[in-house]
Amino acid sequence: MVVLSKPAIEQLSKPKNCSATFFPTIDLSQPDPRTQLVKACEEFGFFKVINHGVPFHFISELEAEAVRFFSLPPSVKQQAGPPNPFGYGDKKIGPNGDVGWLEYLLLTADTQADYQKFSSIFGEPAQRFRCAVNKYLASVKKMACEILEMLADGLKIQPRNAFSKMVMDEQSDSVFRVNHYPPCPESNLIGFGAHTDPQIISVLRSNNTSGLQISLKDGQWLSIPPDHTSFFINVGDSLQVMTNGRFKSVRHRVVANSTKSRLSMIYFGGPPLSEKIAPLPSLMQGEEDSLYKEFTWFEYKKSAYKSRLADNRLGLFEKIAA
């Protein structure tokens, strides 16, 4: 159970929630979704995908294992924490004072990773959990790379794996996060504060409990209806840079639910630490200038780690117009 004092968590003050309900939903089984994908990334930095090809039993198996873990007594779960950088966390998000109404597991997305820490604490259930994570991630990563390749096609980028090869690389610095938001007795509490994702692409799946909101261009927050059979895709900061701002890294947050528990699973597809991130020359049109300085993923990750959730992390890497 998550127990927090009142002042610790951000509260919504007069929330400007958008009454509109439209956001892009893209059927990946249709003959050519490339134009829709590009438009969604340009206008929202966010979209929902259906007919995605990820077997539902992979999803349900992992959800069952996650529910089983979060149902353990706090004293048992805390043996798997605090995250350093991976492990179990409760309330505290990062090292710089951010907190939320949640508990979570942060794991490497490397399917060859050793879960020795978890095995020594949880024994056989840790192996079951690892097996469920690996099957899920292999399928979700494949879908994410297919989306990135269709986006490259839609932007007429060659080679078409310009984005996906970074995520497919053996040295890819990708992570996997499982968040559990218990029912919250307080109204208008923030479960996870507003932020953008620093990686290339994020793939989110949650149970049928609401809470996710995205920020629209006018600053209003749009509540996203949950759909446990589908996935939601976020453009990350790195993809925004590589497209020179054409794609928008979506600002999003989670609002705590007063009656139901919310469970979400997020795959963050990132590049290798040494990968240089900069606008792709093939996307620079005519006299168009780069909006960003070149940086390595390690440099950006290090900078992001020092920031608060709400900070504009890309601001430090933007070029100042003469």
Catalytic positions are 262
**Surface-to-core class of residue 6, CB atoms within 10 Å of its CB (0-12 exposed, 13-18 middle, 19+ buried):** exposed
* Cα 277 from Cα 299, distance rounded (Å): 10
Torsion of CA 40, 43, 46, 50, to 10 degrees: -20
**Surface-to-core class of residue 259, CB atoms within 10 Å of its CB (0-12 exposed, 13-18 middle, 19+ buried):** exposed
E strands, the chain, in order: 25-27, 46-50, 87-93, 98-108, 175-181, 190-195, 201-206, 212-215, 221-223, 231-235, 252-255, 262-269, 276-277, 295-296
Q: Is 313 helix (H, G, I), strand (E, B) or coil?
A: helix
Q: Is 237 helix (H, G, I), strand (E, B) or coil?
A: helix
* Cα 12 from Cα 189, distance rounded (Å): 6
* Cα 20 from Cα 69, distance rounded (Å): 37
* Cα 22 from Cα 272, distance rounded (Å): 35
Looking at residue 212, its amino acid is: L
Looking at residue 7, its amino acid is: P
**DSSP annotation of 287:** T
Quote the longest CA-to-CA distance of the chain: 61
Query: Cα(first)–Cα(last) distance of the chain, in Å?
Result: 53
* Cα 79 from Cα 82, distance rounded (Å): 8
